[in-house]
Amino acid sequence: MSFKKIAIAFSLLLLWVGQLSAIGFPKPEFSVSYSKTKNVRAGDIIDIIIKFNIAEGFHVYSEKSDCAEYNGPIRASIDFTQNGSYEKQGNFRGIGDHMVLEEDIWNCSTGEFTGKGEFRQKIKVLNSIEKIEMLFNGQICNESGCENLRDIALTAPSLTVSGSVVTTTQEPAKTNATATEPEVSDDENRLKDTGSAVIAPIAQNFGDLDYLKKEKIEVKTFNGQASQESSENMWGLFILAFLSGLTALLTPCVFPMIPMTVSFFIRNKNRAIALRDTAVFSLSIIALYTIVGTIVAFAFGANAANWLSTHWIPNIFFTVIFVVFAASFFGAFEITLPSWLVNKMDAKADKGGITGAIFMAITIALVSFSCTGPIVGTVLVEAVHGGAMRPAIAMFGFSLAFALPFGLLSLFPSWLNNLPKSGGWLNSVKVVLGFVELAFALKFLSIPDQTYHWGILDREVYLSIWIVLFFLLGMYLLGKIQFDHDTPNPKISVFRLGLVVTVFSFVTYMIPGLFGAPLKALAGYLPPMSTQDFRLDRSAESDEGVCRTPKYSDLLHSPHGIHSYYDYDEAIACAREQNKPLFIDFTGHGCVNCRKMEEKVWSDPNVLKLLKEDYIVVSLYVDDKKINLAEDEYFMSRSSGKVIKTLGDKNAELEEYYFGKSTQPLYCLLDQNEDLLQPAYGADYFKFEVEPFVEFLKNGISEYKKR
């Protein structure tokens, strides 16, 4: 047999084997629907939903790929036949596909659907739709080979539209738009090269793409009101700072100086001048600390608050600082300022008069820094995790308490005789504060652990460390543990015994948390229940009302068995499909008040019933740092001009520009047209009351039914 005949026979054999492997490749079964079919008005933005089932053992490629343009498998494409009844809004996108590295063949990643798949195309409805014709092209594969899916005809059903006809002012969209030939808009041209293999168009993930393309986005309102008048204020922070200032007075660096300083002022025989100097001294202390807080407020304003609250760099820094402060309080070393600075201020304070009073206030602040520094640092760290003016208010509260006894004792000198004598109890105060600092250090380490999904400090690990820390604190108060600077005390006072009982009661309260007890009193200060491995009562998320498996549900979870979505697009689509209002929960891993609302308000049976039965819930985490968007979901940030690539940044942008807020929690109720059903609701930071929240949810349902 000649070589030519052998080659022909071998080619025919390969062709026959290839055809044999493709025999029986089942075609996906497609269905086409709309995200909204009732009460559709001209001008509404809705989705064409293309769903399909895939036989077991097969997969269909989506439109996503980081392969070179002419490399890799055949990506999905959909050609839409344009007519005057609708306008396309951007490109179609796959929902629920997974990126898979095709290392052996193409050495690049592609999106794959298994089991079932879904594509969505946003359209602007201009008139009643008789039908929309489409052609789908793609590829289906299994381990034995692949088969092309060529020109599969799909038809979207008719759709009746109410309202006047909207005439288009745009040029007709291209009918051959695919993932490899995206429609380019002015906004997309502003995207910067970020080094990725593909720079995708601006995502249509905030519902209405035209809404995002406006130069100025108007915040959503209900009857002209964007959000309810919240009782949120700074009183809680002020009270915390004030108590911290009183605590600082009880430290060994400050308490002995109180009678000395007051005696310095009242020795002046002219009572009026003595009171004047005392007032100047006290006001100088308040001004000094408040100025520090104001500087911090300007340095770390509202735009930096989210970064400070959630990024691993500042939180790890705060953790280290708190550990250092604790070690200082335990007596390992003393934090001091340069002696030349203290001596210089002290020399100017000796001059007397108004100037002397001012410099004496500065001297007191410098000399006491080794004790007050850690407390001031703790207050400031807590303050910067919020609004822009919180540090200034915190330092005003701290300094007011710090200056108060100097002023009062100058007015009433006889009170000096009633002050307790200095002694070993002052060092005990420092040690107790050291244990508290360590507990706070763990809290700040827990925040990046959650936002980056490290999995280091699960709830039971966190609780175990706290239990040990406070148990050791109780043993210290009993006198069973002593540090180098402690004074031996064979007797225990009634007050100290009361502290021992309180600490051990707190330890006992935390122990059931190791087995899944909610510990509502610590809501927000502990990692969420979803991080706990061992729980006696494990309530899984309900599948009631589920439209599809939520994206990101492998990393994000909701409390109390509430079925929640974590992507805005999926949630609004399900709300339309189920004909229910949408409940948006703007939340964060490191949001203390979010956890308090969930534990103290959401856990109420009436609230749970409303959320589970009457709403579609979507939890939008604004601080998540690990979950990355698909490249075709990237978009340009209006505030920073940077390309948004993470789920957390996307949700933060959505909250800021749709609802005019940057704080969490924020709860918003939307109808199917993405309009507010009630003014947005923020947490009450004092009461966390159930009744107002229930009323908020019920009013949203009533308004939804009216529409």
Condensed to tens digits (0 to 9), the pLDDT of residues 361-418 reads 777 776 666 567 667 766 766 665 555 567 778 888 888 888 888 778 777 766 666 6
Q: What is the pLDDT of residues 320-347, one digit of tens each?
A: 888 888 888 888 877 665 565 556 555 6
How far, CA to CA in Å, does 67 sit from each of 242, 283, 453? 60, 67, 29
Q: How many CA atoms lie within 13 A of 484 on its CB side?
A: 7
Question: What whole-number distance in Å separates Cα of residue 238 and Cα of residue 248?
Answer: 15
Pairing mode, strands 45-53 and 93-94? unpaired
pLDDT at 654 over 60: yes
Number of H helices and number of E strands within the chain? 20, 18
pLDDT at 237 over 50: yes
Q: What per-residue confidence (pLDDT) applies to 199? A: 27
Q: What is the pTM of this model?
A: 0.56
Question: What whole-number distance in Å separates Cα of residue 78 and Cα of residue 136?
Answer: 5
Q: Which residue has the tokens 């947490």?
A: 683
How far, CA to CA in Å, does 442 sit from each of 59, 173, 448, 450, 576? 45, 55, 11, 12, 43
Mean pLDDT of all residues in 254-270: 67
Q: What per-residue confidence (pLDDT) applies to 200? A: 31
Phi/psi for 487 (5° steps) reads -95, 125
Position 187 confidence tier, pLDDT thresholds 50, 70, 90: very low
Assigned token pair, 330? 């335990």
- List of domains in the chain: 26-183 (2.60.40.10), 235-425 (no CATH), 458-538 (no CATH), 541-706 (3.40.30.10)
Q: What per-residue confidence (pLDDT) applies to 371? A: 63
pLDDT at 458 over 50: yes
Range among 99-103, 111-115, 162-166, 279-283 rated most confident: 111-115
Q: How many residues does the chain have?
A: 707
Position 617 confidence tier, pLDDT thresholds 50, 70, 90: very high
pLDDT at 562 over 70: yes
DSSP assignments along 355-401, one per residue = HHHHHHHHHHHHHTHHHHHHHHHHHHHHHHSS-TTHHHHHHHHHHHH
- E-assigned strand segments in 15-76: 29-34, 45-53, 59-65
pLDDT at 632 over 80: no
Position 421 confidence tier, pLDDT thresholds 50, 70, 90: low
In sequence order, the 6+-apart residues with CB closer than 8 A to the CB of 108 are 65, 66, 67, 68, 71, 72, 101, 102, 197
More confidently predicted of 208 and 506? 506
Mean pLDDT of all residues in 443-465: 88
In sequence order, the 6+-apart residues with CB closer than 8 A to the CB of 510 are 463, 466, 467, 470, 519, 522
- Determine the residue type at 49: I
In contact, 500 and 477? CB cutoff 8 Å: yes
Q: What per-residue confidence (pLDDT) applies to 23? A: 46
Phi/psi for 350 (5° steps) reads -70, -15
Pairing mode, strands 98-102 and 108-114? antiparallel
Give the DSSP H/E element, type plus range, for residue 636.
strand 635-636
Q: What is the pLDDT of residues 479-523, one digit of tens each?
A: 888 887 777 777 888 888 999 999 999 999 999 989 888 888 887
Q: What per-residue confidence (pLDDT) applies to 704? A: 93
pLDDT at 190 over 70: no
In contact, 134 and 155? CB cutoff 8 Å: yes
Phi/psi for 79 (5° steps) reads -100, 120
> Nearest-CA neighbor of 598 among 657, 537, 652, 664?
664
Q: Is 7 left (phi over 0), alpha (psi -120 to 50) or beta?
A: alpha
> Nearest-CA neighbor of 296 among 403, 361, 381, 234?
381
Q: What per-residue confidence (pLDDT) applies to 52? A: 92
DSSP symbol at 37? -
pLDDT at 208 over 80: no
Assigned token pair, 213? 């393309």
> Nearest-CA neighbor of 611 among 700, 549, 681, 697?
697
Q: What per-residue confidence (pLDDT) applies to 522? A: 83
Question: What whole-number distance in Å separates Cα of residue 295 and Cα of residue 390?
Answer: 11
- Mean pLDDT, rounded, of the chain: 76
The region of weakest confidence among 159-168, 194-203, 649-658 is 194-203
Please give the angle made by the CA atoms of 168, 77 and 57, to the nearest 5 degrees.
145
Q: What per-residue confidence (pLDDT) applies to 103? A: 61
